[in-house]
Structure 1
């Protein structure tokens, strides 16, 4: 994985050139030499990584590690230089103390350039020595088979449990068994990657309506019984649409019993780790002889939990354990067809595309490669969807198939044609490497590696970044994409915004079956994604091995100072502060479960609760680009955060946060500020002078009456309100300085003070797609302004000035897909209701949001 390190360095050359070209004059030759050497190394390093994974070539392993270390050193050198350039060129005129502190030893620009030149010369010298070692120790390079990605993968695949018809039937029978009305515990047991959750999700959707309450709980590692019961209780309140009435009852177990008493419920529990926890959960669930069910989804390592659950059924001769096995050859072929091919297309000769391509021999090859694991089959299908048929398919399958049966593998089309028997030297050589790897790894891991290696370098870094998210955690799509942009993983393209490119990257990962859509937004775009636990473990292992990211929890908190990205996660609520500094850190991501964080602090003394946690240990991390913190007890951020000039993404979703330091105005490279779920209401006025701002996401942040700079890059302004008592004055209104907004979510509007200025500003927002307004009066320009033709989603809360009769919504709002008037909105006129019925018939005049099924969403994504 040295290639991702090299890719990171190469991306910095563009940033450096933009920063200040004149300063590069004296070091230009050395820079060019460094860039050229790294580009050559990047071409060789992917093959070396294959050998490293095989574990059979220690010399190659050393060579890869040394190359990666030099790439890291080069990145540090360039970041240090960019840091100095930013200090000089981006205007810290009044910041004399910090100027002196960070420019000590750099008396003039000439000295600064000489220092950079010397360091780059040293790096070039070391790279030259590494190249000599490669030749001296005869570390060879084998070109890989030409299996570059194709752009023909353009259609969706079904989201059903193909190949598990018999298992699905048995599970339905167990859940809906009428002759056993007592509470029943059912267990789905199987290896990781065998399709347990896919099967259960399909059945869950079918039987959901047959229970008074049905909910799904993933049990995180190290969670407590109270945590699991709290999840069940909160989901139960939501499903049953009731308000909590047990305010005087502290025992969560008793609250769950009272909530579900008399109800027919279905509880799905994934990964419950012990018999003890299961017994406690059972004691909290009422048994009212009404057909309630508890369904456990367990890996085979927890088989004893399944047998313990079966013993709770107290029915002689009854077996509530269903063992889910890998697919046979026929089932593997069915699943592969459903994922790898587009919907059946009838060709000119009358044949069907998938049956034409999928012979029995190819089915056998797929089965040999994947071992019948559904997860491996799906990922392999996702890989091949990006390949040209038949040539690239043959090369990929040959590389992955274990054993030397090369010629047989290539004859996937059948027949004796000479074209089918031609095997290039590159394929033969690359196959030998694949076989070395396959001898030491599982079928799933082989497919993971092949799919991962096929990713372009920038997309590879994006995918690795998801390792920062805790296992079994749903990942917000926008948050992920904005972090990728902040890290510099997204390559700019003319005619597209970085956000559009980032979401295209995410869509490609979905199409490759490496991530799965969990939830879509009202416009049909990806809102949340998740990664299979087995694939998540692979990501964390690769991220650690490559030096890309360190992932730690409360059981593993030793972190070397040289770490470049750090993810700390604690779903048990305990947070351990770090005592050492991290001078090389680029990203700090922290996931602490909010509920347990506050529960655990209830047992601490008042003084400890008062102080909570802080992020002072990050003050020495001047290269930080991303800070993303969920759930910590933080009331304020350190004032020195303003010294982190590289910072692009600052996200602190912590409900105790009340204020931001004034130094935040110094973050002149900041792109995203995310303070949702906080109590922050005010921010230093200088913050609104940061021209690089692209997204401001808040809860109740006060928007100034006017701002001086035009924020031409700003796309998202969410969770803001006008200053209390303030008045917006025409063209001086802050919104007039934000002409390129795509998302605006504004509340607290007073029509008398803000209405005219808001109406005027909306007429200039030609790119606005998502609009949410709350106030005493909502202007009719929301419906009539010609500028708002791009609007896709609208949410209104207040007295709406509805357009007059004759309003033609299909002409003025052709892109509208979602309209939601809140409960405080006045009654919608009949002619408006009829227009909405024409524009968005699926949403029944927009009165309720109707979920779009995953298959429809995927088709939308692909055809977009």
Structure 2
């Protein structure tokens, strides 16, 4: 009887067992299908969003939005399931025949069960996607529209090489008169402190105009001290004062713990004897002036405060305690509007000139922008990426009219919305990510790109690396004038970028409505009751994380200057185990939980201003981690478990890290190590040669006995672009004469003693930046460097040169843009011959105690615009000021701080 029962059970289980095996066999195909289906489903959701936005009936609009939320929840389930499958596949052990030990058999069975569960979930979701789509269409039919965005698949960095075309000045049209008036108000007139207010609605170019004047050479030359402070809606007085002091040269850590009165006293002390100009950008609150007035001392030296605001009441409030000048900015005239539009729409191919067949339609489109530069720039950027077809442009103009008519009045937000809708899905996600950062925040491009990749926004394209594709995405957003470049690297790549505050407002609305993310600031503590995919916390509260639904959260960014409690940090690995991005930004971090390894999906981990001595051993469980960043640590012990992170690409520590005796040879994906301390026995560098993908390597505590093994390792790095070698002992000599020619090397820093100038450096013909520090050279290094064809930046500092003179001869350094000479205690003369340094734009002279004469030939440097002077002899300063009055350079005085 028992045997019959067992036989019957076996017969019943066999079909299910066979079904499970078949599902496992087809699992990769099912996931591939689901991935394609997800892309189509996301496009459908975007169209459904547009239906909700354009619906005039309020009740119906709410109903559509509720249905769209359900669609997004399904899309999130699909995304999470695909991620779960990837994790499951990575954990899959060898087949059962190889699992000899009992524990291996158990692991095999667990993984098998997990894969079967994933297979069943996929079948469930597969049917859910079409069901939800059909249900939506049955209630709210969608119009079938072709996708008008063709995108730009071939955008490259070379389009951004000419930086001025992408600065604020590129958008200046019709500002000549207002610019001259503001400049006169700043540098002429009363000795009493004066407030100058630029007032106008959003999108008129207030910041562009004010910054153009603020950075004017003549204006800069009239003030001893200057600072540009972004205020926006969510400011705190303490935050503004700290920001101001940092702009004056104070270290962040020195002012981070000061209260308001201490900060005010420090600001007043700094400004007491100086003629200063402070630019407060984007002031909203009319009571702002009451809060900041006392800190800005009226020292009767002609100091000025420049304010931009949309609120005329702000200007009125300033009158209570200060003399004020008000400039009300007006929309562009039709001629100026058309000129700006053509500048943006026809920048490539037509050099800013409108083709004849598009003249009438261009004017028609421009008139709809009502003279607002931001709207004109956005539409021009959108159309610059489309074919120059009169039919297509006329169709766009008609659609623009329809969209504006639906809103019953003109709206810059509507214009920006059209530019957003024209983006491909991947670019929309990348643009929305700016909403996870504070308003007016200048974001480092490399940081942004790595986060996009970690989030999964970047889709594979042929043989391009994900970083190359992400760079392409950023370039296209810049070309469409949706992202502004704030600064460039020396070789012409965007270094930092941001979005306009009006665009940021639109993005914040979209990320909240769509569940893409939620930004919680100091004055915005409302917690969304709906789905939240990404979370930014810019305020310090232990209750926030506890009140937010966590099932969908995949990214957390914490931006606060206050110390985070241990309770808050400990909660994250327990409650948010599916995170892909965990970013403490610049938040002080004194604790890391031992169970950090719970976050097995994590791809991007940034530990802010970490004051920690070691990483938890569980970090070795983060098998998907691609980026690990630790800022401002005083030195950290890197646990040997780091060697298990096989997917790690970027390891960035801004001071240095000490590795336990461990082989890094298995981390073959690594592209960046910055900064690694070499242990006394040199264990950590023995396998560096196995890291053949390294592009950026920074090492400290170099000893000469490592020269052969390090040179041999570097010779294996065929993609190396940046190399930094540093000693910690003035008796140690850097000798890498066995390094072979690396055509890829672009940036080199040697910080340590050199017996003589290395003859191998000039062989790096593609080098764009060279820094020599603590080299103690006695012979002039310029003789060896003069003919390097691509050298753009040269730093000679910290006792790098012991000689008394430097000579820049005729025809030398033809491409050099930046030159820094700092802490050279024997240097007493610099000679610049007539045809040398023809492209020099920035000169830094700091702590040269014996240099009493201004470099001869400095007046002939036609492109020199910025001179940084720090701690120079009085004799030098007296003579330099006479030169400066002739050339009107932008001059900065004080210490030179390196940026990490």
Category of TM-score, reference length = shorter chain: 0.7 to 0.9
What per-residue deviation string (whole Å, max 9, x for no partner) do you get for residues 263-296 of structure 1?
Answer: 2211101234545542353322333333211101
1:660-679 counterparts in 2 under 5 A?
660-679=615-634
Give secondary structure in 2 for the equivalent of 1:843. coil
Q: CA deviation at 1:219?
A: 2.2
Pick aligned residue for 1:214 from 223, 226, 231: 226
Residues 1:785 and 1:209: Cα distance change in structure 2 (over 3 Å): farther
Whether the 8 Å contact between 1:704 and 1:734 is mirrored in structure 2 is no
Once residues 504 and 454 of structure 1 are traced to their aligned partners in structure 2, the CA distance between those partners, rounded to angstroms, is: 17
What's the counterpart of residue 229 of structure 1?
Answer: 241
Give secondary structure in 2 for the equivalent of 1:492. coil
What's the counterpart of residue 151 of structure 2?
Answer: 149
Once residues 282 and 644 of structure 2 are traced to their aligned partners in structure 1, the CA distance between those partners, rounded to angstroms, is: 49
Residues 1:377 and 1:770: Cα distance change in structure 2 (over 3 Å): same
What's the counterpart of residue 79 of structure 2?
Answer: 75
Whether the 8 Å contact between 1:655 and 1:678 is mirrored in structure 2 is yes
Which one is further off, 833-842 or 46-55?
A: 833-842
Whether the 8 Å contact between 1:310 and 1:321 is mirrored in structure 2 is no
Correspondence 1:831 to 2:783:
yes
Once residues 573 and 649 of structure 2 are traced to their aligned partners in structure 1, the CA distance between those partners, rounded to angstroms, is: 24
What's the counterpart of residue 211 of structure 2?
Answer: 201
Give secondary structure in 1 for the equivalent of 2:701. strand
What's the counterpart of residue 659 of structure 1?
Answer: 614
Task: Show structure 1 runs of 4+ deviating over 6 A.
Answer: 93-100, 247-250
Correspondence 1:684 to 2:639:
yes
Whether the 8 Å contact between 2:47 and 2:142 is mirrored in structure 1 is no
Correspondence 1:383 to 2:336:
no
Q: CA deviation at 1:626?
A: 0.9
Query: Unaligned regions of 5+ residues in structure 2, if any?
Result: 1-20, 793-812, 822-839, 844-862, 866-900
What's the counterpart of residue 820 of structure 2?
Answer: 847
Residues 1:680 and 1:440: Cα distance change in structure 2 (over 3 Å): farther
Whether the 8 Å contact between 1:778 and 1:796 is mirrored in structure 2 is no
Pick aligned residue for 1:489 from 443, 450, 457: 457
Pick aligned residue for 2:339 from 334, 339, 342: 334
Pick aligned residue for 2:589 from 629, 634, 642: 634
1:610-629 counterparts in 2 under 5 A?
613-629=568-584
What per-residue deviation string (whole Å, max 9, x for no partner) do you get for residues 213-262 of structure 1?
Answer: 121011254443333233323322479xxx99xx9997332322222223
Once residues 94 and 682 of structure 1 are traced to their aligned partners in structure 2, the CA distance between those partners, rounded to angstroms, is: 37
Q: CA deviation at 1:205?
A: 1.4
Whether the 8 Å contact between 1:379 and 1:447 is mirrored in structure 2 is yes
Residues 1:560 and 1:131: Cα distance change in structure 2 (over 3 Å): closer
Q: CA deviation at 1:138?
A: 6.3
Give secondary structure in 2 for the equivalent of 1:652. strand
What per-residue deviation string (whole Å, max 9, x for no partner) do you get for residues 627-658 of structure 1?
Answer: 11124343222222212211111111123333
Give secondary structure in 2 for the equivalent of 1:173. helix
What's the counterpart of residue 175 of structure 2?
Answer: 164
Whether the 8 Å contact between 1:624 and 1:644 is mirrored in structure 2 is yes
Q: CA deviation at 1:707?
A: 0.8
Which one is further off, 333-342 or 50-59?
A: 50-59
Whether the 8 Å contact between 1:836 and 1:846 is mirrored in structure 2 is no
What's the counterpart of residue 394 of structure 1?
Answer: 393
Give secondary structure in 2 for the equivalent of 1:630. coil
What per-residue deviation string (whole Å, max 9, x for no partner) do you get for residues 404-435 of structure 1?
Answer: xxxxxxxxxxxxxxxxxxxxxxxxxxxxxx35
Correspondence 1:765 to 2:717:
yes
Once residues 28 and 714 of structure 1 are traced to their aligned partners in structure 2, the CA distance between those partners, rounded to angstroms, is: 28
Q: CA deviation at 1:471?
A: 1.0
1:539-618 counterparts in 2 under 5 A?
539-554=507-522, 555-556=524-525, 558=527, 560=529, 562-570=531-539, 576=543, 578-579=545-546, 582-592=550-560, 594=561, 597=562, 613-618=568-573
Whether the 8 Å contact between 2:42 and 2:75 is mirrored in structure 1 is no
Q: CA deviation at 1:761?
A: 1.9
What per-residue deviation string (whole Å, max 9, x for no partner) do you get for residues 807-851 of structure 1?
Answer: 682xx2221111222356545534224345884434378536956
1:97-108 counterparts in 2 under 5 A?
none
Correspondence 1:471 to 2:439:
yes
Query: Unaligned regions of 5+ residues in structure 1, if any?
Result: 1-20, 347-351, 404-433, 602-607, 856-864
Pick aligned residue for 1:733 from 686, 699, 709: 686
Once residues 44 and 528 of structure 2 are traced to their aligned partners in structure 1, the CA distance between those partners, rounded to angstroms, is: 31
What per-residue deviation string (whole Å, max 9, x for no partner) do you get for residues 331-358 of structure 1?
Answer: 2112112222227859xxxxx9436365
Give secondary structure in 2 for the equivalent of 1:268. strand
What's the counterpart of residue 326 of structure 2?
Answer: 321
Give secondary structure in 2 for the equivalent of 1:462. helix
Once residues 585 and 668 of structure 2 are traced to their aligned partners in structure 1, the CA distance between those partners, rounded to angstroms, is: 29
Once residues 816 and 571 of structure 2 are traced to their aligned partners in structure 1, the CA distance between those partners, rounded to angstroms, is: 48
Residues 1:99 and 1:220: Cα distance change in structure 2 (over 3 Å): farther
Residues 1:444 and 1:22: Cα distance change in structure 2 (over 3 Å): farther
Pick aligned residue for 1:510 from 474, 478, 496: 478
What's the counterpart of residue 10 of structure 1?
Answer: none
What's the counterpart of residue 356 of structure 1?
Answer: 356
What's the counterpart of residue 672 of structure 2?
Answer: 716
Choose between structure 1 and 2 for higher RCO, CA contacts under 8 A separated by at least 6 residues: 1
Give secondary structure in 1 for the equivalent of 2:610. coil
Whether the 8 Å contact between 1:665 and 1:686 is mirrored in structure 2 is yes
Once residues 295 and 499 of structure 1 are traced to their aligned partners in structure 2, the CA distance between those partners, rounded to angstroms, is: 40
Residues 1:365 and 1:257: Cα distance change in structure 2 (over 3 Å): same
Give secondary structure in 2 for the equivalent of 1:321. strand
1:428-467 counterparts in 2 under 5 A?
434=403, 438-439=406-407, 442-467=410-435
Residues 1:396 and 1:722: Cα distance change in structure 2 (over 3 Å): farther
What's the counterpart of residue 788 of structure 1?
Answer: 742
Give secondary structure in 1 for the equivalent of 2:519. strand
Once residues 585 and 153 of structure 2 are traced to their aligned partners in structure 1, the CA distance between those partners, rounded to angstroms, is: 37
Pick aligned residue for 2:201 from 187, 191, 205: 191
Residues 1:31 and 1:737: Cα distance change in structure 2 (over 3 Å): closer
What's the counterpart of residue 704 of structure 2?
Answer: 751
Once residues 192 and 209 of structure 1 are traced to their aligned partners in structure 2, the CA distance between those partners, rounded to angstroms, is: 30
Residues 1:158 and 1:475: Cα distance change in structure 2 (over 3 Å): closer
What's the counterpart of residue 891 of structure 2?
Answer: none
Once residues 116 and 804 of structure 1 are traced to their aligned partners in structure 2, the CA distance between those partners, rounded to angstroms, is: 59
Q: CA deviation at 1:682?
A: 1.0
Give secondary structure in 2 for the equivalent of 1:654. strand
Once residues 280 and 136 of structure 1 are traced to their aligned partners in structure 2, the CA distance between those partners, rounded to angstroms, is: 56
Once residues 117 and 683 of structure 2 are traced to their aligned partners in structure 1, the CA distance between those partners, rounded to angstroms, is: 51
Q: CA deviation at 1:367?
A: 2.1
Give secondary structure in 2 for the equivalent of 1:170. helix
Whether the 8 Å contact between 2:206 and 2:329 is mirrored in structure 1 is yes
TM-score under structure 2 length normalisation: 0.76
Give secondary structure in 1 for the equivalent of 2:748. strand
What's the counterpart of residue 119 of structure 1?
Answer: 121
Whether the 8 Å contact between 1:150 and 1:388 is mirrored in structure 2 is no
Residues 1:23 and 1:714: Cα distance change in structure 2 (over 3 Å): farther
Q: CA deviation at 1:38?
A: 4.4
What per-residue deviation string (whole Å, max 9, x for no partner) do you get for residues 383-411 of structure 1?
Answer: 111111024751563244325xxxxxxxx
Correspondence 1:181 to 2:134:
no
Residues 1:479 and 1:96: Cα distance change in structure 2 (over 3 Å): farther
Whether the 8 Å contact between 2:340 and 2:377 is mirrored in structure 1 is yes
Once residues 485 and 221 of structure 1 are traced to their aligned partners in structure 2, the CA distance between those partners, rounded to angstroms, is: 31
Once residues 628 and 559 of structure 1 are traced to their aligned partners in structure 2, the CA distance between those partners, rounded to angstroms, is: 21
Count of residue pairs brought into register by the alignment:
757
TM-score under structure 1 length normalisation: 0.79
Q: CA deviation at 1:673?
A: 0.6
What's the counterpart of residue 268 of structure 1?
Answer: 279
Compute the RMSD of aligned alpha carbons.
3.7
Once residues 544 and 261 of structure 1 are traced to their aligned partners in structure 2, the CA distance between those partners, rounded to angstroms, is: 45
Whether the 8 Å contact between 1:706 and 1:733 is mirrored in structure 2 is no
